[in-house]
Amino acid sequence: MKRELGIARCGLACCLCSENDQCHGCQFDECPGSDSCENRICSIEKGVAHCYMCKEDCKKGILRKIKPYAFTLFVKRYGEDKLLECLEANEKKGIVYHRQGVYGDYDDFDDVEKLIDFIMTGKD
C-alpha cells in the first residue's frame, strides 16, 4: 500500500491501485482519462478536492459503480484516515484491491451497506 497516494477524487483507492507504480492519480493529472473524467471535472468546478467533500448524494460518472460510491460514502461517514486504516488492515488480511485487472475483492458486492461493512470489518 502506498498510503501517501491516498484516495482519488472519485473515491477509488489510488493507494492500492495496481497502476500506482507509474500513476500518481488524478490529483496529478496522471490517471488515464483524467482530462475527460466527469467526477474530476465536476469536483474541480465545485472547488472540492474529492467527491466525498460535496454535499450532494451524487451518482454521476464513476460513482454509478458500487465500489467508488461506497468508498465515497464511507469517507463521508468515517473520514479518509479511517478508510485508509481499514484498507491497510484488510490488505494485511489478504484482501486484494486489484486481483484481476481492476477487479478485486471489493468488487463482489451489489449492496453498498454490505460493502461498507466489508471495508470496516474485512469480513463478508
- What are the tens digits of pLDDT across the range 49-64? 899 999 989 899 999 9
pLDDT digits (tens, 9 = 90+) for 5-15: 889 888 989 88
Q: What is the mean pLDDT of residues 85-90?
A: 97
DSSP string, 77-116: HH-HHHHHHHHHHHHHTT--S-SBTTB-GGGS-S-HHHHH
pLDDT at 91: 96
Q: What is the mean pLDDT of residues 113-123?
A: 96
- Output the pTM of the full model: 0.89
Q: Are 87 and 15 in contact (CB under 8 A)?
A: yes
DSSP string, 44-64: HHHT-SSGGGSSS----GGGG
Q: Are 18 and 86 in contact (CB under 8 A)?
A: no
**CB within 8 A of 61, min separation 6: which ones?**
10, 37, 38, 39, 42
Domain range summary for the chain, segments of one domain joined by +: 3-121
For residue 72, pLDDT beyond 90:
yes
Task: Tell me which residue has cell 464513476.
Answer: 62
